[in-house]
Chain A
Amino acid sequence: MRNPILVGERIYLRPLETDDAEIMARGSALEPDVMMDGMRIPLSPVTMEHWVRDLHERQPPATIFLAVCLIEDDRFIGSVGLMGIDYVNRTAETGSWIDDAEFRSRGYGTEAKMLLLEYAFDRLHLHALVSHVWELNTRSSAALAKQGYHPAGRLKWDELKDGVYHDILLFDVLRDEWLTARERWRQEYASVRPES
């Protein structure tokens, strides 16, 4: 493993490096999913390298992104992040992106998010986290429920799809809710994990 911060069953989280920029740009070029807020944007590796460099400049950081990598071969498959970190109120917004579509809907995103929440609650000692999901992105809403998040409301008419404005859904989570969800998820995962 390369510079791990948190290690799970199949994946680990590590700091983003500038040499991840090329992979992230390639992920944006190959993005098959159109059900996201905003629009698909082809990103330049130059932009991504600049973004990664900026992430590490401000200390303490207001934004933290961590690379999601496979334990078996160190392959970069996506990233998870904390945005708008408020060290006084101890809050932040969370997000996760499995860039490599091959690894979506296979539990990698939830495993990565569980590690991110451990980092947020047990290392940064944040108190409350929020997440925003476009209402058409039902896959992400279902994943958040599995991770312990609760519906908190909506923001109206955020983005257009097929000529109709759709809302952003808000979810929030506290530490004890995440711990309960993680325990449930670990039991479910243990029951389906193949014998090694």
Chain B
Amino acid sequence: MRISYLSGERVALRSPVLADKDQAAAWFDGVFPIDAGRAEAWLKEELKEFTYRKILLIAVRGDGEEVIGGVVVRSNRRHADVAIHMAPWLPDADDLRGEIVGLLVRWLRDESEHITTTAHFAEDWPATIAAAEAAGMIQMARIRQWYARPGGRADQLIYQALRPFWSEAEAGDA
């Protein structure tokens, strides 16, 4: 089921359905293999109650139903933290992740009015970083050599989208 406010030009985010168990490698956040049985059990456990504290979303290509990733949003209604997992076989994962970031910032910062929306990126994701900055996210931290890469390491960049609910005069550096 398409969500009107979480659909972009090439990517749409939707709620998970049990049939997603057959494409778990695309959306489940991990490098270890996950079979359909375990994915179904995981989905049933995660989706058994409604909560804004942890929201699961499935990313699909905008022009069809191809599952290309998964998103987990953790929120306490003031702060949101997003984790995006892209299908390991995608040649354009960086571009698509960037579009997902734009959708999430619009939803979490502008519409839902979280004062901070936080995401963690690898420094070798240039399209994602460019999209995040275009959406108004600011780099707040760099954790050195955080990700393993073949033959080396990559830094982790922590970005935040900020929306103070107080005036800038009151907040000082806000």
Contacts and interface: CB of A to CB of B under 8 A. Distances in A.
A89 B31 CA distance: 11
Interface stretch (B41-49, B97-105, B126-134, B138-146): B138-146
B55 interface: no
A120 B153 CA distance: 18
B115 A155 contact: no
Main secondary structure of the interface of A (DSSP, over half): strand
B148 A153 contact: no
A154 B173 CA distance: 13
B106 interface: no
Given A127-B148, A170-B143, A172-B144, A156 B160 contact: yes
A90 B164 CA distance: 35
A47 B162 CA distance: 35
A1 B160 CA distance: 46
B164 A157 contact: yes
- Of the candidates A90, A156, A158, the one having the most CB atoms from chain B within 10 angstroms of its own CB is A156
Contact of B144 (A88, A154, A157, A174): A174
8 A-B pairs with least C-beta separation: A153-B141, A89-B148, A170-B141, A172-B143, A128-B145, A152-B141, A153-B140, A152-B143
